[in-house]
Amino acid sequence: MNNAIDLAEKLISAPSVTPATGLVFDVMEAMLEPLGFEVHRFVKGEEPDGPVENLFAIRRGPEGSKHFAFAGHLDVVPPGEGWTSAPFAPEQRGDLLYGRGAVDMKGSIASMVAAMADVPADAGTVSFIITGDEEGPAVYGTRALIDFMKESGDTPDLCLVGEPTSVNQLGDMIKIGRRGSVNIWIEVEGTQGHVAYPHLADNPLPKLVAILAELDALVLDEGTEWFQPSNLEITDLEVGNPAHNVIPAKATARISIRFNDTHSGASLSELVGAIAERHGGAAKPIISGEPFLTPPGDFSRIVAEAVKAETGLDPEPSTTGGTSDARFLRAVCPVIEFGLCNATMHKRDEAVAMEDLQTLARIYARIAKAVLSA
Ligand SMILES: [Zn+2]
């Protein structure tokens, strides 16, 4: 088996702050070609959301064999200040490997590649769906890869996303779904005027306060068997009124809703829009993802058994946390997410336990082999 630690170091050494192109994909291509993969790369989009590089690599099994895909991203969030060692110069200290992307998710991708040495070419078709824009707006990333796969007729039967889903120990949690996410901007227009002459003005603030009070009091649902209750947070409130004696002309606010599969982005937008309108306001939603669930079954059982065999743990099937590219991939095939411990992701001094990289490679190899032979 290729050394997952070496591979992770090579990937971390190629800086790739989102949106990523170029070098890090050269490194990835150089890893996959010797393993018999046919590598396709393409760049999409323009500033500010692009350009974004995407990579689709496939190793075809015998005619009619199953197609299993690993999916992930090579872009990383900006490193920020105050690192102990340089963020793009991987450094081993003690049992840990430090560097931006160590857990989210160059480390997981290194383990996926390392796993391939252990999966015979005739076991079936395996592909890598790798984008350079998961951490950013994700406009030209995985969605473009899905279009590419549809055009080439290479859509997988099952897909594993390598996001860092483990919490305290490698293998303690897998994600079988994700909540949806919608941000909604609320605006109330009034008429500006002197506070001493309120009959000549129309203050938008009491209306906005009434809208927000009603939204904040909503109970969206009680949760489901697999999802926690949907949650609405008020995230911004802006009037920008520097004068103590002026009734402002406009007031705005923003809310963010993380929701389970009893709602859709559209149903919540409609609900919030109706409340805003009743108080004389207007609402503008941007839906960033719909919820999805891969109900527990054969695929989650295969993943859980592989985890158990290598770690002794029974992973908890969860739908918690933020959104990921699984929100797009689930339109293609059933998706499960499993990867490294997420404690240091997006933080300064991001680090992975080197032993976890090797264990994860063995888990990924087990999953690929079990899926392909099922
Ligand atoms: Zn990630």
Spatial contact of 77 and 346, defined as CB atoms under 8 Å apart: yes
CA of 134 to the centre of ligand 1 (A): 7
Known binding residues for Zn(2+): 73, 104, 135, 163, 346
Residue type, 190: G
Rg for the chain (alpha carbons), in Å? 24
For the chain, residues classed under CATH 3.30.70.360 are 180-289
CA of 9 to the centre of ligand 1 (A): 17
Residue 75 annotated as catalytic: yes
For the chain, which residues score pLDDT lower than 70?
A: 1-2
Q: Which residue has the tokens 């393993």?
A: 35
Closest CA to 339 of 37, 103, 158, 18: 103
CA of 223 to the centre of ligand 1 (A): 26
| Share above pLDDT 90 across residues of the chain, in percent, rounded to a whole number | 95
Beta bridge partners of 127: 58, 69
315 SS3 class: coil
Is the bond into 51 cis (omega within 30 degrees of 0)?
yes
Report how far residue 20's alpha carbon sits from residue 101's, in angstroms, rounded to the nearest whole number.
Answer: 13
The pLDDT of residue 2 is 59
Report how far residue 44's alpha carbon sits from residue 79's, in angstroms, rounded to the nearest whole number.
Answer: 24
pLDDT by residue (tens digit) across 64-112?
999 999 999 999 999 999 999 999 999 999 999 999 999 999 999 999 9
**Structure tokens of 9?**
């170091």
Closest CA to 186 of 158, 162, 209: 209
The pLDDT of residue 374 is 85
**Structure tokens of 265?**
């982005």
Report how far residue 368's alpha carbon sits from residue 116's, in angstroms, rounded to the nearest whole number.
Answer: 9
pLDDT by residue (tens digit) across 166-181?
999 999 999 999 999 9
Secondary structure of 214-247 in HEC code, one letter for each residue: HHHCCCCCCCCCCCCCCEEEEEEEECCCCCCCEE
134 SS3 class: coil
CA of 108 to the centre of ligand 1 (A): 10
15 SS3 class: coil
CA of 241 to the centre of ligand 1 (A): 39
CA of 273 to the centre of ligand 1 (A): 32
Known binding residues: 73, 104, 135, 163, 346
CA of 323 to the centre of ligand 1 (A): 10
For the chain, residues classed under CATH 3.40.630.10 are 4-178+291-373
The pLDDT of residue 48 is 85
CA of 343 to the centre of ligand 1 (A): 13
Q: Which CATH number fits domain 4-178+291-373: 3.40.50.920, 3.30.750.24, 3.40.630.10, 3.30.450.270?
A: 3.40.630.10
Report how far residue 337's alpha carbon sits from residue 320's, in angstroms, rounded to the nearest whole number.
Answer: 12
Neighbours of ion ligand 1 (CB under 5 A): 104-105, 163
Beta bridge partners of 121: none
Spatial contact of 371 and 305, defined as CB atoms under 8 Å apart: no
Report how far residue 161's alpha carbon sits from residue 128's, in angstroms, rounded to the nearest whole number.
Answer: 10
Runs of H (alpha helix) within the chain: 4-12, 23-32, 106-116, 142-152, 205-216, 265-278, 298-311, 326-329, 354-373
What is the residue-averaged pLDDT of the chain? 96
**Which position among 9, 53, 133, 134 bears the catalytic label?**
134
Residue 26 annotated as catalytic: no
Report how far residue 266's alpha carbon sits from residue 169's, in angstroms, rounded to the nearest whole number.
Answer: 37
The pLDDT of residue 1 is 45
At the topology level, CATH places domain 180-289 in Alpha-Beta Plaits (3.30.70)
**Which position among 9, 53, 75, 310 bears the catalytic label?**
75
CA of 142 to the centre of ligand 1 (A): 13
- In sign, the C-alpha dihedral spanning 263, 219, 176, 108 is positive
Report how far residue 301's alpha carbon sits from residue 312's, in angstroms, rounded to the nearest whole number.
Answer: 14
